[in-house]
């Protein structure tokens, strides 16, 4: 209850000063409170912070009492000592102050909404999804009835957990229109935090049903509020946009977005999110023709999840089409569950190109039958067309002798005579500059800071003192 009490005090400070940064602090504390929630604590919170005249009081009590009893360790209350009895007067005074403060909080709607949010989270964790949906819907309606900017962050979290409960109950397709209407409302109210949350919920909803065209249209016609959104919401948005751009064949932008999402995600938690991001990041990097670092697959907690993708990476690196097909057959269900299967299918061309590059480097003259056998292709005729296409695209520098049915390699060009080193340097410099810009955008400054400028009289006095000091220094030098 002490943690909850601290959150309520922060809410009171936010309402008094009308500073949203205090509400942001409360929302961050919800994660810590979530681990401490139980039936007894929530019933006490409803009794303490929700007025009996409130229309949601009875429903909250019914929701909490409907949950099976928690296994909470009973702690014996020690008997009052003589010293405690001596301090009873001071304790009574403190209790009166706390009672007055609690009475004041009963009139603050943000306090009631926070209790509703905690009950919703508790019901979600205990798998009482229908009750959680009802509680979240009540929270949204109640919060929307107050036109208060300090309510925006609690409202956005209410939408988040409501959409999550609807998704777990298989009703995601029913909430799309309501999310769109809510997004329009937040845009009209200039609610930046609500826009960020609802935009991510809409993109997630579209991607769940593979509606990439609609998701791409929404992404291009909206602007994500990077300055006001939380780091977690920005990481989610970068992940969703990375997936959309990967499907749209914009691999460079997709890889940059996925990289930023992995960097901005919490490094000590959110392991599931980081696993998902790295799965897509590895595939997109392979589609770009690059090989991920081995350290990517050996990160703590990700070794087992990324093992199928390591096999795909190894097949692409050595250009072994047979190993690629075996990995696809062995882990096909995993790739489909991760929704990376359609992207991995595109890697077949990369495997063939890598294999051809190795053959072109190793052999100055090789028959197409041998190329077909090394690449595990279906026929020599298919091999002829594939080799011709790679030559036309500039993948390999070779020619086909149709008379002898062979592929003849040309002398390898020194890469340092090309513009490739310059392009790689440009890419690294651009990456460093982008990281600097992101760091500048993430900086926070104290609000309402007033700089006290000196008056003309004070400036004349300061100049006079400096002149006297310079004269004394000159006289010392002469002496």
152 in a domain, yes or no? yes
129 in a domain, yes or no? yes
**Cα 142-144-145 angle, rounded to 5 deg:** 70
Pair 50, 115: CB distance under 8 Å: yes
How many angstroms separate the CA atoms of 378 and 374, rounded?
11
388 in a domain, yes or no? no
443 in a domain, yes or no? no
12 in a domain, yes or no? yes
How many angstroms separate the CA atoms of 223 and 405, rounded?
56
398 sits in which H/E element: strand 398-401
pLDDT value of position 27: 80
**Cα 254-257-260 angle, rounded to 5 deg:** 150
pLDDT value of position 77: 44
Confidence (pTM): 0.76
Rounded average pLDDT per 10-residue block, the chain, 479 residues: 73 75 80 81 79 77 76 46 54 61 65 83 86 87 81 86 89 88 88 89 91 90 83 91 91 90 85 91 88 87 90 86 87 90 87 81 81 78 81 77 80 74 90 87 65 73 77 48
How many angstroms separate the CA atoms of 85 and 80, rounded?
7
Pair 159, 140: CB distance under 8 Å: yes
Single out the residue of 376, 362, 284 nearest to residue 323, CA to CA.
376
* Spatial strand order in the sheet of 365-367: 365-367, 406-409, 398-401
All residues at 6 or more sequence positions from 340 whose CB lies less than 8 Å from its CB, including other chains? 279, 280, 283
331 in a domain, yes or no? no
Tell the residue number behind the tokens 């979290």, with chain if given. 157
pLDDT value of position 401: 78
343 in a domain, yes or no? no
Neighbours of 229 (CB within 10 A): 21
Helices (H) and strands (E) in the chain, counts: 23, 3
- In the chain, the number of structural domains is 1
Residue 6: give the domain boundaries: 1-66+104-169
Neighbours of 85 (CB within 10 A): 10
114 in a domain, yes or no? yes
With H, G, I as helix, E, B as strand and everything else as coil, classify residue 159.
helix
pLDDT value of position 283: 92
């Amino acid at each position: 209850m002490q943690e909850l009490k601290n959150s309520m005090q922060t809410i009171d400070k936010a309402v008094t000063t009308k500073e949203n940064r205090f509400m942001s602090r409360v929302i961050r504390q919800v994660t810590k409170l979530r681990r401490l929630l139980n039936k007894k604590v929530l019933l006490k919170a409803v009794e303490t912070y929700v007025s009996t005249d409130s229309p949601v009081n009875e429903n909250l009590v019914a929701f909490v009492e409907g949950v099976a009893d928690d296994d909470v360790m009973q702690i014996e209350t020690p008997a009052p000592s003589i010293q405690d009895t001596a301090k009873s007067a001071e304790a009574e005074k403190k209790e009166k102050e706390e009672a007055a403060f609690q009475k004041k909080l009963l009139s603050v709607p943000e306090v009631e909404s926070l209790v509703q949010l905690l009950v919703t989270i508790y019901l979600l964790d205990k798998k009482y999804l229908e009750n959680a949906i009802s509680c979240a819907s009540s929270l949204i309606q109640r919060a929307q009835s107050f036109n208060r900017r300090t309510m925006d962050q609690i409202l956005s979290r209410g939408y988040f957990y409501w959409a999550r409960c609807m998704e777990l109950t298989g009703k995601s397709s029913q909430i799309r229109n309501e999310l769109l209407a809510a997004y329009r409302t937040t845009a009209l109210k200039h609610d930046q935090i609500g826009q960020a949350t609802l935009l991510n919920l809409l993109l997630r909803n579209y991607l769940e049903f593979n509606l990439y065209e609609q998701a791409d249209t929404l992404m291009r016609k909206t602007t994500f509020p990077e300055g006001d959104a939380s780091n977690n919401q920005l990481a989610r948005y970068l992940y969703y946009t990375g997936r959309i751009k990967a499907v749209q064949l914009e691999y460079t932008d997709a890889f940059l977005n996925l990289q930023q999402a992995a960097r901005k995600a919490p490094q000590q938690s959110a392991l599931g999110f980081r696993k998902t991001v790295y799965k897509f990041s590895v595939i997109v990097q392979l589609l770009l023709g690059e090989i991920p670092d081995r350290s990517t697959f050996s990160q703590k907690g990700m070794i087992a999840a990324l093992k199928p993708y390591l096999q795909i990476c190894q097949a692409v690196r050595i250009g072994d089409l047979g190993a690629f097909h075996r990995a696809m057959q062995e882990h096909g269900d995993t790739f489909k569950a991760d929704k990376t299967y359609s992207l991995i299918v595109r890697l077949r061309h990369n495997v063939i190109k890598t294999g051809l590059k190795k053959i072109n480097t190793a052999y100055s003259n090789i028959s197409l039958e041998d190329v077909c056998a090394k690449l595990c292709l279906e026929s020599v005729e298919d091999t002829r067309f594939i080799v011709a296409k790679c030559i036309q695209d500039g993948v390999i520098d070779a020619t086909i002798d149709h008379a002898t049915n062979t592929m003849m390699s040309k002398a390898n060009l020194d890469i340092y005579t090309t513009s490739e080193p310059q392009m790689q340097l440009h890419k690294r410099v651009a990456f460093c500059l982008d990281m600097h810009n992101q760091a500048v955008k993430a900086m926070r400054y104290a609000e309402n800071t007033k700089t006290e400028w000196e008056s003309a009289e004070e400036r004349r006095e300061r100049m006079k003192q400096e002149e006297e000091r310079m004269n004394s220094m000159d006289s010392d030098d002469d002496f």
